[in-house]
Structure 1
Amino acid sequence: MATTPVPAAAKSASPPPRSILRDSAFLRLWAGTTASGLATWALPFVLGLAVLHRDLGAAGLGLVLAARTAGFLVAVTVGGVLADRHSRRAVVLWSSLAAAAAAPLLAAGLGRSLLLMAAAAVLAGAGQGACRPAFQALTAETVAPERRQRANAAMTLAVRSSTLAGPALTSLLAAFLDTRTLLLGIGLLWLVAAFVPGRGVGAGAVPAAGSASDASSPAVAAARPGFRTEFLDGIREARRHPWFLAGLAALVAVVTLGYSATGVALPLVSRDRYGTAWVLGASTTAYTVGALGGALLVARWRPRSQGWAAFAGLAAYGVAPLSLTLPVHAAVVVAAYAVAGVGIELFNVPWFTATQREVAPDKLARVSSLDFLVSYGLAPAGLALIAPAIGAFGVTPVLAVCAAACFLVPAGAALVPTARHFARTPSAGTG
């Protein structure tokens, strides 16, 4: 049968997709997420300034940061269940308000009551932890599937830019404001995170079970399973996606061994091999700049085998510990950290996007909470293990083992079924 040709004008009649940065709903979400990320980063930095000003001792700083981490790890699990059970926007609101309330308590306890500061740090960590999976799920509700990779890249660009510019800005503010005022400023950032984001518009998502659309039904409330059951449902959903479990295993290796090893070893190598703190500062800055470049690249790049490309990016972190084992010029170390930064975002952005696409919408926050639990929870454990290992075996052997793990574990994860496209079906991962 003959077909009528489509006029060229008709083919181009549909308007090009609007930029994600012109979407007001996304911009509100982006602003809230950025404010929460900046507040999360700023707290340990401002507390470090308190140590410099002798308002807080080194032991007190360790206790407060440990309390914050404990609050985060507990709340990120609870927050994942709550964000799937109730409105994701409501979870963002109340968790951000909790973190905001912690700021004046920290300011009140500074120099007066370490116990009050530790309790406030638990509250701050709980707010930070509970909002992470809720923000992740809210992104899936706000942004259409075909635009989520650019949206996640924009989120990453904001976070990395804050990390790059934040120390200089905070140091500048510290010249005019005392530490208590800076802590109150962190509380204001959390208020932005609480009130600026809008409700999800349901772009490509279905309402979460027990969300605001059906939570008022007595039948639903009576039939709702318990917290443990819902959390285990999230684990079962994660197990349905072999690529997700493989990615978590690769993250365990890179975070626990690679990231923690370089965090401990880079200051030592900078001091002992190069005799200057310049290498430490330049390498950490190069890592952030590389991550910015990686986010810009992945905002537009769509490789045919997205999962394999992402795992290759994650494995690239291994060049950072490898450079510290070799007697190379300091510029090589700095360049290696830049490569590691690019690679980490080549993994992160497709990883978040695939999770939002592949995981059942009513279980997305719970599955995301597992991701954050691994990413944030294992870093302190790695730091606790790496330092004694370096003391027992030396810097070079420990770094060599960590570099090998960073290369080999992601390579093994890439061989897992469904890992090539971060999708259970190849067509889903190539859009």
Structure 2
Amino acid sequence: MSSTTAPNTEPTARRGGLLRDPDFLRLWSATTASGLATWALPFILGLAVLDGTLTAIDLGLVLALRTAGFLVAVPAGGLLADRHSRRAVVLWSGLAAALATPLLVVGLGGSTALMAVAATVVGAGQGACRPAFQALTAEVVAEPDRQRANAALTFSTRVSTLLAPGLTALLALVTGTWVLILGTAALWLIAALAPAPGSAAVAPRSRAPFHTEFLDGLAEARRHPWFLAGLGALTVVIATGYSATGVLLPLASRDHYGTEAVLAGALTAYTAGALLGAVIVSRWRPRAQGWAALAGLGLYALAPLSLIAPVGPIVVLVAYALVGVGIELFNVPWFTSVQREVAPDKLARVSSLDFLLSYGLAPVGLALIAPAAAAWGTGPVLVGCALACVIAPALAALAPGGRTFTGARATVG
């Protein structure tokens, strides 16, 4: 199969930097709003469980269906964003989430079925916009500025997750849960309406059936061995290290230290470390950027290692802060390299593959780690998770192009 590459339609770097670029600021506002809406909904629905308007079983069902909608929509969103305007995909996916969110309020405490349908649509809107945002960033921001742009985007997301729990809890004291849910609908409207059209257009091409275009995206991903290897490493780390945090950190906080404060402190330290990592990587560009990014990803091994024995709360907090730094040392160069190396007319499809595997398999790890700990013991499972977090990035570093996250295999027509 031959490979077609879009002509060079790169946006031009603007004087004055990103903060004076109105197109980037509009994109930043949209991605920040979508990230905050995505994070806030489970927390708000958790408050509804506490006040008795929603049961824990219904909460689990609603969140599971939101995740299912996300997973179904991610590949479809990537296909549509490469076939049509990326701006249009962001618009319609954001509007779908915004219009479905009020139905959660209507169903709250009354119709679980209505809430389930609404949550599925919200998840689909969330999933469809993710690859479109990735491709739109490459259209709006010139290549020399993209690393700083991606760092700024992830920085805003981390600030939201750091500050939003307290702010949401305070708002819940003076207003109802339904008002907070409608607030997420307003955030989705911002995400839908804020971005400007991309300054670079995808090259016109004949349309093929959806399954053919999906296979074209897979073929483009296979052209970049470093991408497949890095995605495999990221998927393993999320399925093991992230699962250890989600399932075993609360148990370690209770069993080793007798308090939930270590749990809250570790998660706060992780976010603070991620903020620091975003600041560092916005300026730092090592020659072996791929190896540096994969080393940062490997720092996730510190999370399960810190939970094996009662080593002291400070050690756990420091470990999670370093994990936060490391994950952004990986994330920002990873997104930037994908935006630079992948053919522009296939970027959304390749990005959708990234989100589908890395995030899509995370629930599998979450579901399996507790039974594994029950069968073999918490200590051995944590050691296994730590080893996986080290070995997977190390193997990815050996792939062609892994040193710099550059290079592609030639294709023959």
TM, length-normalised to structure 2: 0.94
1:273 alignment partner, SS class: helix
2:60 aligned with 1:47:
no
1:82-134 Cα deviation digits (max 9, x unpaired): 00000000000000000001111000000010000000000000000000000
Cα displacement (A) at 1:373: 0.7
- Equivalent of residue 78 in structure 1, options 66, 76, 89: 76
Query: How far, CA to CA, are the matches of 1:262 and 1:72 in structure 2?
Result: 22
Question: What number of residue pairs does the alignment pair up?
Answer: 396
- Equivalent of residue 354 in structure 2, options 356, 367, 371: 371
Amino acid at match of 1:22: R
**Correspondence list, 1:52-201, <5 A:** 52-201=50-199
For the 8 Å contact 1:71–1:125, the answer to whether it is kept is yes
2:338 aligned with 1:316:
no
Amino acid at match of 1:331: I
2:385 aligned with 1:402:
yes
Structure number with higher relative contact order (C-alpha < 8 Å, ≥ 6 residues apart): 2
Query: How far, CA to CA, are the matches of 1:176 and 1:191 in structure 2?
Result: 24
- Equivalent of residue 231 in structure 2, options 248, 257, 262: 248
Unmatched runs of 5 consecutive residues or more in structure 1:
1-14, 215-219, 426-431
Cα displacement (A) at 1:290: 0.1
- Equivalent of residue 202 in structure 2, options 203, 208, 218: 208
Query: How far, CA to CA, are the matches of 2:310 and 2:343 in structure 1?
Result: 49
Cα displacement (A) at 1:318: 0.5
Query: How far, CA to CA, are the matches of 1:269 and 1:326 in structure 2?
Result: 8
Q: Which residue of 2 aligns with 1:11?
A: none
Query: How far, CA to CA, are the matches of 1:111 and 1:326 in structure 2?
Result: 42
2:269 aligned with 1:290:
no
Query: How far, CA to CA, are the matches of 2:173 and 2:357 in structure 1?
Result: 37
Unmatched runs of 5 consecutive residues or more in structure 2:
1-12, 409-413
Cα displacement (A) at 1:224: 1.3
Query: How far, CA to CA, are the matches of 2:249 and 2:17 in structure 1?
Result: 40
Cα displacement (A) at 1:22: 1.2
2:366 aligned with 1:383:
yes
Cα displacement (A) at 1:395: 1.0
Q: Which residue of 1 aligns with 2:241?
A: 258
2:407 alignment partner, SS class: coil
1:382-415 Cα deviation digits (max 9, x unpaired): 1011111111111111000000000111011101
- Computing the radius of gyration over CA atoms, which structure comes out larger, 1 or 2? 1
2:282 aligned with 1:305:
no
TM, length-normalised to structure 1: 0.90
Q: Which residue of 1 aligns with 2:255?
A: 272
Query: How far, CA to CA, are the matches of 1:173 and 1:368 in structure 2?
Result: 36
Detail structure 1 runs of 4+ shifted over 6 Å in the superposition.
none
Cα displacement (A) at 1:72: 0.3
For the 8 Å contact 1:107–1:180, the answer to whether it is kept is yes
Q: Which residue of 1 aligns with 2:318?
A: 335
For the 8 Å contact 1:208–1:363, the answer to whether it is kept is no
**Correspondence list, 1:344-363, <5 A:** 344-363=327-346
Q: Which residue of 2 aligns with 1:413?
A: 396
Cα displacement (A) at 1:326: 3.1
Cα displacement (A) at 1:16: 9.8
